Amino acid sequence: MRTFAVSFLLAGLALSGAADSVADERLATIRLPEGFVIEPFAEVPNARQMAWGEQGTLFVGTRRDGRVFAVNDDDGDGRGERVRVIASGLQMPSGVAFRGGALYVGAVSTILRFDGIEARLDDPPPPVIVTDRLPADQHHGWKVLGFGPDGYLYAPVGAPCNVCRVDGYYGSVLRMRPDGSEIEVYARGVRNSVGLAWHPVTGELWFTDNGRDHLGDDLPPCELNLAVGPGRHYGYPFCHAGTLRDPNLGGDGECADTEPPAQALGPHVAPLGLAIHSGTGVPAGYRGAVFIAEHGSWNRTRKIGYRITVVRLADDHRTALGYETFADGWLRNERAWGRPADVLEAPDGSLMIADDRAGMIYRIRYVGERSDAGGG
């Protein structure tokens, strides 16, 4: 039986005066469409995936930090005044999801559950092991989690390599019952997905995928994928982005037999978390759009990514109409002071952005002309 260290310490105020000033100064350089503003919400070291609790708590996982945080805006002023550590000593607990009063945490080979957590933020319960049967590889081994409208818990399992033949759970998106039973492969041919979202109208799964490295600056594209149902193959390792045969493993299959991306993204932009906007409080052009956190390239001659991009969808909620930058400015003169890792819609329609390099959560909200903004 594994043991897990759980911290019962209060982390204190989310933003000190000095840190708040630095964050505001940096965020003044972020470029956004007219009418949108970005503000610091809370300091959270190495912030990765986020999930809302039923009582308004924002839960945040980490990858390198080993801790899971709970953030509360107690006075409703749009800032997270209290940041609590609810778990520590975990292995890459980057993924978080919330359902039925419980917080689920993905920690590489293990998924944990913290029952009744919002009533016990100052005294968290010991975790229950949902499953410990996932691969233990750390290379692409960190997890994101999400509950689909079918009630199943979904978790991708990345390939344990840059490019190699994979089988079993590797290179897939899994789903399972909330108790960890009935684990099955929902999608195959997925190199390393670090973002899941379900369309609020169709209930269909959308996910990001990070393309392979070492094919040059401009190949292959990263991917935004749509799964209209189980059983699709998305090409990895023999086909990338629907059209590019791998120079070493291309003989393993035909691109024509794979599911092409709904939208090819920039090469090496490292798309992580994504959110499909419900339409509350934003102009019509952003209702139902897919917002993507691009963590940024590490192996290009000139860096790209380090931004939030948006993919608008047609009325069928499946066809991508274009791919453009929504928010950028985290990269300056080939140096990145921040790296967006996740994007999550808030109940009021604003967008929460996790930045694991700066150790911050930001809030992007629309303050422009309201006549074209949904939800009042």
> How do strand 263-267 and strand 307-313 relate by DSSP bridges?
unpaired
First to last CA, the chain: 52
pLDDT tens per residue across span 3-26: 333 333 334 444 555 566 667 789
Are residues 192 and 158 in contact, defined by beta-carbon separation less than 8 angstroms? yes
Longest dimension (CA), the chain: 59
- Report cis status (omega within 30 of 0) of the bond before 237: yes
Per-residue pLDDT band for 51 (boundaries 50, 70, 90) equals very high
pLDDT tens per residue across span 183-229: 999 999 999 999 999 999 999 999 999 999 999 999 999 999 999 99
What three-state secondary structure class fits 160? coil
Tokens 């975990």 belong to residue? 90
Per-residue pLDDT band for 114 (boundaries 50, 70, 90) equals very high
Mean pLDDT of the chain: 94
What average pLDDT score do residues 220-244 get? 98
What three-state secondary structure class fits 337? coil
User: Higher pLDDT residue, 178 or 23?
Assistant: 178
pLDDT tens per residue across span 24-43: 789 999 999 999 999 999 99
Per-residue pLDDT band for 157 (boundaries 50, 70, 90) equals very high
What three-state secondary structure class fits 23? helix
**Backbone dihedral angles phi then psi of residue 64, each to the nearest 5 degrees:** -85, -25
Beta-strand ranges (E) seen in 74-216 are: 82-87, 95-99, 102-107, 110-114, 128-131, 146-147, 153-157, 172-176, 184-188, 196-198, 205-209
Residue in 356, 318, 358, 352 with CA at minimum distance from that of residue 337: 358
pLDDT at residue 372, rounded to an integer: 65
- Report cis status (omega within 30 of 0) of the bond before 220: yes
What three-state secondary structure class fits 360? strand
**Backbone dihedral angles phi then psi of residue 11, each to the nearest 5 degrees:** -85, -15
CA–chain centroid gap for 303, Å, is 21
Per-residue pLDDT band for 133 (boundaries 50, 70, 90) equals very high
What three-state secondary structure class fits 22? helix
pLDDT tens per residue across span 335-363: 999 999 999 999 999 999 999 999 999 99
Topology annotation, domain 10-372: Neuraminidase (2.120.10)
